[in-house]
Chain A
């Protein structure tokens, strides 16, 4: 489904991503875990092709095709989409309109129900700051769902929200898998990462450990959460 080959990205003099290699299979939930500042969001932006996030080196293969030169829209039309850590607000646009922006969008009512929001209460609300963080994230996932994606990139879906919303979001992520979509789940929470079928640990722009979910998340919990080496890879710890 998705293969990243030796992705490098620099911001000025600073190396943000240093040779990322990653494979995500069809219908797989692949978690990327790492503390703040390790390059997780940059990786999401590069896969989606956001403005200013063209890799300095490497290839992104999606269903056998190198998509590195494709625009955001072209990638989205192939089935790739992204849900931002802090979703954008849209003045004057209702939830109903937001979930129906494409002609062949799924039924907005069904999409809302799947993320645990009552359509009668939410369809006519505006997608702006009057929604709470949890409500806005759920609406965002409903909008992702409505376009029937093949690969969903979720950037910190659990950050800044209440426990009820977290439970709904976990359920939703599993729904994507049931629908046959792959999920790249970016998080700094080992609990959220455990939803994944596999996990990769990102440290200082490099995947330093990947594979077994329990093993990688335990490692993250033990060594990375209180990390003091500020971006420098501790070879000794990794050994």
Chain B
């Protein structure tokens, strides 16, 4: 264990708990973990097959994460990123190296509980080795101020037979401004599933770009998004898949729900094939909250707002 037992660390743990994380895993040496506040790594716990290199930079942290070849880590590795102050900027340049035949799951909680004006830039690179398997679930918790600006950028490559499953969730607190930009290059027989779930309120602005390049034969991928927009929130989703080799399979699936006169949604699926044996499909739907669902819950005594909330939480679960 290599912890800085400061009030800051405790505050981050408290924020992590508020974000939905199990705080005990951050202080239990059985679990791999990293805790970052502003430009400081407050704590980390390396376990067998999981190594971390990091350095502080002016407004953030450079961090490299290694999973050794053939290592299969049974329990998820917990990442706690965030900023406790009300204002500031955090840049996290992260690189993930998943070795050949390795398997790992990351649970990341990004928390900005006091944000009035916080800018969080996440530049990630992921490299998954042959038959490597990485799952990354990222849950955000923002304050209700709407003053959080989040720019998650991911560039990834998946080698032959490798697999990446990435899920981004921002369903509690205000979004503020969110600009997701994911782009993955896939080799032969690799698989990638991207899923984004966001609940936008008031004047939140959400931009999502999920892009997959199926370059090797039999590569497969899905770019999926579930966005709910109420009040004056705006969402725009671009799902892109290129089938560049024979027998590749891809699917773009975007579902946006708008509720309220000012909420707006846009969706653009962009699919292409470079090989006649490739197959890429898409489906996109933008609609209102189902009237019967709403009225059923209201007929059980819920207000319209309460009913909308329950329906939305179900959709985004």
Contacts and interface: CB of A to CB of B under 8 A. Distances in A.
Contacts of B295: 48, 50-51, 72
Contacts of B301: 73, 76-77, 81, 102, 147
B317 interface: yes
Interface stretch (B46-54, B217-225, B302-310): B302-310
A214 to B, nearest CB: 32
A90 interface: yes
A115 B169 CA distance: 36
Interface of B is mostly: helix
Contact of A91 (B296, B299, B302, B315): B315
Contacts of A89: 293
Nearest to B297: A101
A88 B292 contact: yes
Contacts of B299: 48, 72, 75-76, 80-82
B312 to A, nearest CB: 9
A76 B300 CA distance: 6
Contacts of A97: 310, 314
Contacts of A88: 290, 292-293, 296
B288 interface: no
Contacts of A144: 300
A101 B298 CA distance: 11
B248 to A, nearest CB: 29
A101 B300 contact: yes
Contacts of A73: 298, 301-304
B316 interface: yes
A192 B301 CA distance: 28
A226 interface: no
Nearest to B310: A101
Contacts of A82: 299
Interface in B246-285: none
Contacts of A81: 299-301
A87 interface: yes
A144 B313 CA distance: 21
A147 B300 contact: yes
B22 to A, nearest CB: 21
A49 to B, nearest CB: 9
Contact of A93 (B298, B302, B304, B314): B314
Contacts of B63: none
B302 A90 contact: no
Contacts of A48: 295, 299
B51 to A, nearest CB: 37
Interface in A40-89: 48, 50-51, 71-73, 75-77, 80-82, 84, 87-89
Nearest to B316: A92
Nearest to B255: A91
B296 A92 contact: no
B317 A92 contact: yes
Q: Which of B299, B313, B315 has the most CB of A within 10 A?
A: B299
A199 B265 CA distance: 49
Contact of A90 (B293, B304, B316): B293
Q: Which 6 A-B pairs have the closest CB atoms?
A: A92-B314, A92-B317, A93-B314, A76-B301, A72-B298, A88-B292
Given A90-B293, A92-B314, 17 more contacts: A50-B295, A72-B295, A72-B299, A73-B301, A73-B303, A75-B299, A76-B299, A84-B292, A88-B296, A89-B293, A90-B310, A90-B314, A92-B316, A97-B310, A97-B314, A101-B297, A102-B300
Interface of A: 48, 50-51, 71-73, 75-77, 80-82, 84, 87-93, 97, 101-102, 143-144, 147
